[in-house]
Chain A
Amino acid sequence: MQAFLDIFDIYLLEAVINGILLGGVLALLALGLNLIFGVIDVTWICYAELVMIGMYAMYFLVQYYGISYFIAAPLTILLVAILGALLHYLVIAPLLTAPPINQLLATGGVLFVLQSFATVAFGIDFRNLGIRLPVLAFGDMNFSYARLLSFLAALVGMVAVYLFMTRTFTGTAIRAISQDREIMALMGVDTRRIYLITSAIGGGLAGLAACLLVLQYDVHPFVGLSFGPITFLICVLGGLGNFIGGFIAAFVFAEIISLGGLFSDLEWGYALAFAFFIVMMFIRPAGLLARRR
């Protein structure tokens, strides 16, 4: 055991495992965005801001109204799911036939709205849930219990979405639309209803991510900017709309950030991840798992 630990630096191993745990939450975030992109062909630039609103909802439900965490979580998921459906109904639906760039920029406007709404309504203070979960010690390594819990919950959420997509009629219709959006309308599927349901599911996944992230991070109006860009990059790296690619890319990114943070500052980890992304775009422009043309 000791020889093993000498070869593998204990901090390196800790960073690797923390990277995997971080990857779980990133994969959950990427899943929601990929779902929206794959089905509706729209990029929600404001996705991370939906998560931020969810985090505030958790904060107020738990801290202010004193509701138990496990009751507040479903309420938050529901709230963000409704927000997602509203976003689709009010902003995306009128722009469905517009050039993709306009849709992207419109959600950019929503990003401003949500961010400044949070600033106006909640102020710019950092707030946290005040729940301190114990730290799990394993050997000489320390893991945050919150991260472990998030990782597991993210896995459960992803499996649930997978089962929904493969085992139910609505899920099958969603997958069919992502393959051919014109034909499905002729096959008797109400595309508008499916789009609305997909947006609600995407929002719900953002809500779940919010419930998990609020355990680890303080919430403030600009928290979305700290993990929003990385989520898009993960989706693009995995190939927009490609669920498995996004899942793998989330863990690759999480490892780069975690290991980069081990050897230097956390910012360099992020800068390295961004640079890696740009290089990968040139090598595999259509995503990690895309076949070469």
Chain B
Amino acid sequence: MTGRLVAWGAGLIALVALPFLYRDPYHLHILVLILIWSFAYTSWSMMGRFGLVSLGHGGFMGIGAYVTALLWNHLGWSPWVGIPVSMIAAGVLALIIGYPCFRFRITGHYFVLVTLALSGIVLQVITATRDYTGGSLGYTPNRASGNKLLALQFDDKTSWYLVALAVWFSGIIVWHVIDRSMSRYALEAISEDEDAAAAAGVNVTAEKLKITLISAVMTALAGAVYCQYQMFITPDTVSGIAVSLQMVFAAIVGGLFVSLGPTIGAVITILLAETLRIGFGTKAVGWDNLVYGVLLVLFIIFLPKGILGSVLDRLKPQRKVPRAHEQKAVQIARPGT
């Protein structure tokens, strides 16, 4: 255990020290993007690992980005106030949708499609209120005239790298806190058999609602940080079904059941997109998604535990009896057994 802590500590120190030793702005830019998206994917996987597959996270991310930017531009509220407000807004929305869903036992396909409708609503509302949000043409937060720190707008990549690193690391910590809590066992029981879990004294609605709330609030934070960093958002890049599917894809490719899985997923997807973009230029429009799509299908058929999950399993054979839902996933990998 101490060995793992030392490894984490050394890795973290190396990551913090990186921008002071290596200053190439393009590579730092890629790293910042990877960290922000890793955080968003980690937020999604908090729900996804317990079988709560949501396609509504594009909606939460859109709320985080747009509420922060709108409060800054129209009311002059600093993002330091705007980001918490946007997180609360996403949390309230998650509760409004989540409570009836869990209370009336909407699960499986139906849960996926209800959340799909949620991200559809957010996308349409952002597009429809184009007088305020700029519609599908996108939206830019105003440049700060005064204090840069108050406006959370930094010009140098190093500051942004550290901000993104802190946000990403907090996401990993939350993942581990949940991994060690009673909630994790409750949620695993729920994902295997809701009735049995309820009979064993698990408050199904409350547990699901808790994890949904945490996941939605974190996704909103990811959206807000992304907006502050890029200084340009469109409904299609921060909300909607495509973004939701992208989260699902990266989390599954990296590995849903391990803490760094979504991060690995973000590294792979973003590096793939950038390599294709640099290698082929404008000819590559669409190629990255083509590769993603093929990979997603292949991963679900042959490697449902993701890259990192499978590698870790190889390294530590017979570590423990896999949990039932993972066993199911393993069966898909070897059809016929």
A contacts, CB < 8 Å to B: 43, 91, 94-95, 97-102, 104-106, 108-120, 124, 221, 225, 229, 232-233, 236, 240, 264-265, 267-268, 270-271, 274-275, 277-278, 281-282, 285
Contact = CB atoms under 8 A, between A and B. Distances in A.
Given A106-B296, A108-B249, 14 more contacts: A94-B301, A97-B331, A101-B108, A112-B290, A112-B293, A113-B293, A124-B285, A232-B113, A240-B109, A267-B124, A271-B121, A274-B117, A274-B124, A281-B100
Given A106-B297, A282-B104, A112 B245 contact: yes
Interface residues of B, number: 51
Nearest to A276: B117
Interface in B74-102: 97, 100-101
A277 B301 CA distance: 32
Contacts of A229: 116-117, 120, 241
A113 B290 contact: yes
Contacts of B332: 95, 97-99, 102
Contacts of A117: 286, 290
Contacts of B101: 281-282
Contacts of A221: 286
A236 B101 CA distance: 14
User: What's the dominant secondary structure at chain B's contact region?
Assistant: helix
B118 interface: yes
Contact of A225 (B242, B296, B325): B242
B110 A270 contact: no
A271 B125 contact: yes
A112 to B, nearest CB: 3
Nearest 5 A/B pairs, CB to CB: A112-B293, A119-B286, A109-B296, A267-B128, A113-B293
Contacts of B53: 101, 104-105
Contact of B128 (A98, A236, A271, A277): A271
Q: In this complex, which of A95, A233, A267 has the most chain B Cβ atoms within 10 angstroms of its Cβ?
A: A267
Given A275-B121, A282-B104, A102 B300 contact: yes
A274 B289 contact: no
9 contacts: A94-B335, A95-B300, A98-B331, A98-B332, A102-B329, A108-B296, A109-B295, A113-B290, A285-B104
